[in-house]
């Protein structure tokens, strides 16, 4: 038994170091400490992240899977990726299409009663936040957490592991996740009015799933995802709003100058 524990120890250590390295590297990229185009060498990452070579390499590969870094063809290494405005629009659209398909499958395959109950509770809690709305970072964070939960449940209800994986990958890009534009939108529009519309769509999606109406569930979800995307062009042209978008330092080719986080 002691031998088995000792055998597992190096594996656990590498796993823990890798998790630490992934989080640190992601934070450095999203915080602007590592700029778009910057090369990530294994040696530099070992020193910067404070881990051994294997976790450093695995962290870079994980962020490659998430889309935050890209391979350098000539050397096989990695560099921080940049995103054009068109790529940002495409990322948001891709997530929307995948979620629309998930909603259709959820309605056609009808989730178990306990799963539907979880979605009903989530929608009811979102109703409470919207009805008691006051414009504050705390309220936005509260709504964002519930919104993310709604979209996660929706993806899971499709009962398609392949679709769930694709949705997870699409949502891994920080500016394409379900709640990524909420703070930025608050600088450009009356967020309370927008949330009333969005919340009505959430309830209509729930109703369509309960009624097993796949076509309606898909159509409403597609329109729901267009709601935030309608503001995306305005966000990309407004420096104050853009600075509130997660991962904004990676976005290039906009009229607004990227606002880099202070180190």
What are the Cα distances from residue 234, in Å, to 35, 188, 228, 238?
Answer: 24, 8, 11, 6
Angle between helices 137-157 and 85-109 (to 10 degrees): 50
pLDDT tens readout for residues 203-243: 999 999 999 999 999 999 999 998 878 889 889 989 999 99
CB 99, CB 221: distance < 8 Å: yes
Handedness of CA 254, 257, 262, 263 (dihedral sign): positive
125 phi-psi bin (left φ>0, alpha ψ -120 to 50, beta other): alpha
Beta-sheet strand order (sheet of 78-80): 39-40, 78-80, 69-71
What mean pLDDT comes out for the span 29-44?
91
| Listed residue (113, 127, 91) closest to 246, CA to CA | 91
Q: What is the DSSP letter of 188?
A: T
What mean pLDDT comes out for the span 49-71?
92
Higher pLDDT, 13 or 207: 207
Q: What is the DSSP letter of 83?
A: B
Question: Tell me, what's the pLDDT at 261?
Answer: 34
pLDDT interval class at 76 (50, 70, 90): confident
pLDDT tens readout for residues 139-164: 899 999 999 999 999 999 999 999 99
Which CATH class, in words, describes the domain spanning 85-250? Answer: mainly alpha
The residue ranges of every structural domain in the chain are 2-80, 85-250
257 has pLDDT over 80: no
197 has pLDDT over 90: yes
Two tokens at 58? 């695995």
The CATH number for 2-80, chosen from 1.10.10.10, 3.30.70.1230, 3.30.565.10, 3.40.50.170, is: 1.10.10.10
């Amino acid at each position: 038994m002691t031998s088995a524990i000792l055998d597992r120890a190096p594996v656990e250590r590498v796993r823990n170091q890798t998790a630490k390295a992934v989080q640190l590297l992601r934070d450095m990229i999203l915080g602007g400490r590592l700029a778009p185009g910057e090369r990530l060498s294994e040696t530099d990452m070992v020193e910067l992240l404070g881990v051994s070579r294997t976790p450093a390499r695995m962290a870079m590969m994980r962020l490659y899977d998430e889309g935050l870094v890209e391979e350098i063809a000539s050397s096989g290494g990695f560099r921080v990726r940049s995103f054009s405005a068109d790529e940002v629009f495409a990322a948001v659209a891709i997530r929307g299409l995948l979620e629309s398909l998930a909603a259709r499958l959820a309605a056609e395959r009808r989730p178990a009663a306990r799963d539907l109950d979880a979605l009903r509770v989530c929608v009811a809690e979102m109703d409470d936040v919207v009805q008691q709305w006051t414009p504050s970072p705390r309220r936005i964070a509260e709504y964002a957490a519930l919104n993310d939960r709604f979209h996660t449940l929706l993806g899971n209800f499709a009962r398609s592991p392949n679709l769930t994986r694709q949705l997870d990958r699409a949502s891994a890009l920080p500016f394409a996740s379900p709640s990524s534009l909420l703070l930025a939108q608050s600088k450009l529009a009356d967020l309370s009015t927008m949330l009333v519309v969005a919340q009505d769509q959430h309830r209509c999606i729930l109703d369509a799933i309960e009624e097993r109406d796949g076509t309606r569930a898909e159509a409403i979800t597609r329109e729901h995802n267009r709601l935030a995307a309608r503001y995306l062009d305005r966000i990309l042209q407004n420096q104050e709003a853009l600075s509130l978008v997660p991962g904004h330092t990676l976005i290039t080719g906009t009229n607004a100058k990227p606002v880099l986080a202070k180190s």
